[in-house]
Amino acid sequence: MSHNIIIGGGHNGLVCACYLARAGKQVTVLERRSIVGGAAVTEEFHPGFRNSVASYTVSLLNPKIIDDLNLRDHGLRVKLRPQSNFFPLSDSESLSFHRDFAATQAEIARFSTTDAAALPEFYAMLEDVADILRGELLRTPPNVGGGLADLIRAGSFGLRAKKLTMSQRRDALDLFTKSATDVLDAWFENDHVKAAFAFDSIVGNYGAPSTPGSAYVLLHHVFGEVNGEKGAWGHAIGGMGAITQAMLKEAERLGVDVRTDAEVEEVLVENGRAVGVRLADGERLSGDKVISNVGPKLLYTKLVAAQHLSDEFQRRVRGYKVGSGTFRMNVALSELPDFTCRPGTELQRHHQSGIVIGPTMDYLEQAYLDAKQFGWSRQPIVEILIPSTVDDSLAPAGQHVASLFCQQFAPQLPDGASWDEHREAAADAIIDTVTRYAPNFKDAVIARQIHSPLDLERKFGLMGGDIFHGALGLDQLWSNRPFMGHADYRTPVAGLYICGSGTHPGGGVTGVPGHNAAREILKDR
């Protein structure tokens, strides 16, 4: 029986392992940390307070994978947010996005009747283009310069694209190439409304809404679904670790050997072919196929010796863009935030939504400019989720945990400064930003867990702190992800594959790269 070794026990590695094991393959998963799950894990960060450590909310996890891996049978439960998003704008004003379309439209009409009237067509446009993306998720992209199979894939995509109307083709081009600012300016007039939509364009994207290509990042965040509701976001009960623990149960049921505290230090290559791995403790494991769930930058700069890669390919690796500009915090709270624009510490619907501080387009732009000049924004963009409002297993009664997902923090600080020197100051800036809108917030913080871009790299192997394993630009998408000519989950080294978010369709807790990679691996004898 052939032996498959998977480097990294993140969610895509576990998904890939399950599909390979279902096909009768012997699979070993090697995880550097003492717990599997990669960035989708739940940890106690203060006595009595548990939360998702890095990944923090659910939408993109593919329904086929949920069903195929029996995740519900293994205990996975996802609750929809009662309210989608809440945007504090000032001491007296806010903007809410609801799950009910009519309620959202009525809310937007308070700011602009013109924008409210445009909303149905805008949503329909987004959904049409998102459907194009959904249709390609579980398909392997055609390799440029590939063989007959790639020609067939390209031809099949061409036939599907031919069915689009001219308007849909133009919309797709806009969303794949333009900036979010350019797209939103053509649809809306109110600055707050535009900023609410533009927020998704800079999540995990170290750029401004005006950066070309940022419109695609907006699209990337809307192609998911929760419990059959398209575009919705929800909370995994028990935190994001509930997803990967359910995957682990299925992997173990299928006979996968999952080893923790097993750091891979090198992919062993003989005569141009991957033949196994060497662990940090010196142990060597042989395998017919080696599958990497770490990002392309980490794989090709740390785990594969340079002599096994061409000079041209190494240059491409050096140019591969990583660094999502994110700073991740968890905080334990003695009480819920009391927003001046929506007073009260008693539970309200906005406490159960995605609370986003980024009130204007200028605010979003300036945050990026600050990060480029100073290393991080003096008024950062902050998304707050309080999962304990829908899952009381995460915090003691009457208290709460909050996820703070913060944008515009430079992957590398200017002038050679280290994040180790500035992480606490940056965290203070984040807390102060939230406190400007909810004055009780700073005093309510009992404890905090901080992950700077450098912390994310050290803890989870996310080079540059990149939550997507690589920027989601047109040059690093579909047939170009991670590199043109290697979009089919195979690498320049025979027998070495890649199954993580650095492959199509990109980042987020989707499981799709692991699913697609397994299919391609099973094709190769």
Choice among 127-136, 300-309, 310-319, 436-445 with the minimum mean pLDDT: 127-136
Q: What is the mean pLDDT of residues 273-301?
A: 97
pLDDT of residue 59: 82
Q: What is the mean pLDDT of residues 128-154?
A: 88
pLDDT of residue 60: 86
pLDDT band with cut points at 50, 70 and 90 for residue 392? very high
CB 269 within 8 A of CB 275: yes
pLDDT of residue 223: 76
d(C-alpha 35, C-alpha 244), whole Å: 10
pLDDT of residue 26: 98
Q: What is the mean pLDDT of residues 2-15?
A: 96
Highest mean pLDDT among 87-91, 129-133, 154-158: 87-91
SS3 content of the chain, % helix, strand, coil (to 5): 40, 20, 40
Does 83 score more than 80 pLDDT?
yes
> For 322-460, which CATH class?
alpha beta
d(C-alpha 360, C-alpha 342), whole Å: 19
pLDDT of residue 1: 58
High-pLDDT (> 90) share of the chain, %: 89
- All CATH 3.50.50.60 domain ranges of the chain, comma separated, are 3-43+56-79+237-320+470-523
d(C-alpha 163, C-alpha 169), whole Å: 10
- Which alpha helices (DSSP H) does 256-360 contain, by range? 296-298, 311-319
pLDDT for 417-442, tens place per residue?
999 999 999 999 999 999 999 999 99
pLDDT of residue 161: 83
pLDDT of residue 308: 97
High-pLDDT (> 70) share of the chain, %: 100
pLDDT averaged over every residue in the chain: 95
pLDDT for 166-192, tens place per residue?
999 999 999 999 999 999 999 999 999
pLDDT for 359-384, tens place per residue?
999 999 999 999 999 999 989 999 99
- Alpha-carbon separation of residue 333 from 48, 355, 407 (angstroms): 11, 16, 22
| DSSP for residue 237 | T
Which residues neighbour 499 within 8 Å (Cβ) at sequence distance 6 or greater? 6, 12, 13, 15, 16, 291, 292, 293, 489, 513, 514, 517, 518
Residue 124 has a CB neighbour count (10 Å cut-off) of 11
pLDDT band with cut points at 50, 70 and 90 for residue 45? very high
Annotation: CATH topology of 3-43+56-79+237-320+470-523: FAD/NAD(P)-binding domain (3.50.50)
In a 3-state reduction of DSSP, which class is residue 83?
A: coil
pTM over 0.85: yes
pLDDT of residue 230: 80
pLDDT for 292-302, tens place per residue?
999 999 999 99
Helices 11-22 and 241-253: angle between axes, nearest 10 degrees: 20
Does 140 score more than 80 pLDDT?
yes
Among positive and negative, which fits the CA dihedral 385, 208, 420, 470? positive
- All CATH 3.30.519 domain ranges of the chain, comma separated, are 322-460
CB 176 within 8 A of CB 474: yes
pLDDT of residue 39: 96
Q: What is the mean pLDDT of residues 303-328?
A: 96
| DSSP for residue 81 | P
Does 38 score more than 90 pLDDT?
yes
The owner of tokens 């995740």 is 71
pLDDT for 196-224, tens place per residue?
999 999 999 999 999 999 999 998 888 77
Q: What is the mean pLDDT of residues 141-162?
A: 85
Closest CA to 111 of 198, 197, 199, 193: 193
